[in-house]
Amino acid sequence: MIEQFLQPDNTEQALDLMQQHSACATWFAGGSKLNAKPTLTEKTIAISLDHLSLDKIELQGQALHIGAMCRVQSLIDSELTPYALKQAATFIYSKHLRNQATLGGEIAAYQDESLLLPTLMALKAHVITADASNISIEEYLQQDNRDLILQVVIPDINLVCLAFNMTRSAAGLSIVNAAVSLSQTGETIIVIDGVSPRRAGYSTPVRLTDIEAQDLDEEALEKAVAQAVFPEADIRGSIEYKQYIAGILVTDLFIECQRLVKEA
């Protein structure tokens, strides 16, 4: 339960406060996740990032730089945001939550139903952190101790990318999340979530790099994806069902990406 709320004026102050109170402090971005399960915090001190001017969306050449405090709704509203990222953001069903939640907070929350993580990976996104690291979103998510994100960078806003969150109903739990991107030169990225063993209680988005390197037709791609994932059976479905859905979903996204590339 949050008992103390601190508001630093710059990144240096924020990092100093976190160093002083690290045992009982948490970052406070939009706050949409700190007081609700499954991300309810046990920390007692919240260090706000609201005054750090990290909410801008800027195009630098073909690269899009998005501040970690950018609200999810702002991603949808911005004409600079790639279609796939807008699409992923709309899977947060409530506009009220989208106006509260931030891009950095969604990455940190690491929730199963988030379509933003696979989409960012498919878009080749990388993050710039407070310690001046510049690493891929995939590498960042694999770290046990993750530094404060300042910016998310999408290197090419013209990359064709599509994503989808498969559920049984509009209000149902996510079964499989998938994102596929395809460049004009034929480079493919396939990212899928909800079908890999959990790490520290969280679902882990994975790239199917072995499949990406192969030139597979529709039937072979569907079969290869189904065989490449190792989901766990739960109330969302059996292992076989999730494997089947994963194959169908990725194949459909890939076919549509191919169509869009040809039309571009």
Supply the pLDDT for residue 43. 85
Q: Is the pLDDT of residue 242 over 60?
A: yes
| 71 DSSP β-pair partners | 102
pLDDT band at 36 (very low <50, low <70, confident <90, very high): low
Please state which of the ranges 28-32, 85-89, 156-160, 225-229 shows the lowest mean pLDDT: 28-32
Q: Which of 25, 46, 30 is nearest to 98 (CA)?
A: 30
Q: Which residue has the higher pLDDT, 65 or 43?
A: 65
Please state which of the ranges 40-44, 63-67, 149-153 shows the lowest mean pLDDT: 40-44
Q: Give the CA distances from residue 24 to residues 6, 35, 43, in Å, rounded to whole numbers and listed in that order.
A: 13, 15, 5
Residues contacting residue 145 through CB under 8 Å, at least 6 positions apart: none
Fold of 1-50: 3.30.43
CB contact at 8 A, 128 and 134: yes
> In the chain, which segments carry CATH 3.30.390.50?
160-263
Rounded CA separation 157/62 (Å)? 6
With H, G, I as helix, E, B as strand and everything else as coil, classify residue 229.
Answer: coil
> In the chain, which segments carry CATH 3.30.43?
1-50
Rounded CA separation 51/12 (Å)? 12
* Average pLDDT score over the chain: 90
The whole model's pTM is what?
A: 0.92
Q: pLDDT by residue (tens digit) across 75-85?
A: 999 999 999 99
Architecture of domain 160-263: 2-Layer Sandwich (3.30)
Q: pLDDT by residue (tens digit) across 5-28?
A: 999 999 999 999 999 998 899 899
Q: At what angle do helices 218-228 and 239-263 cross, to 10 degrees?
A: 140
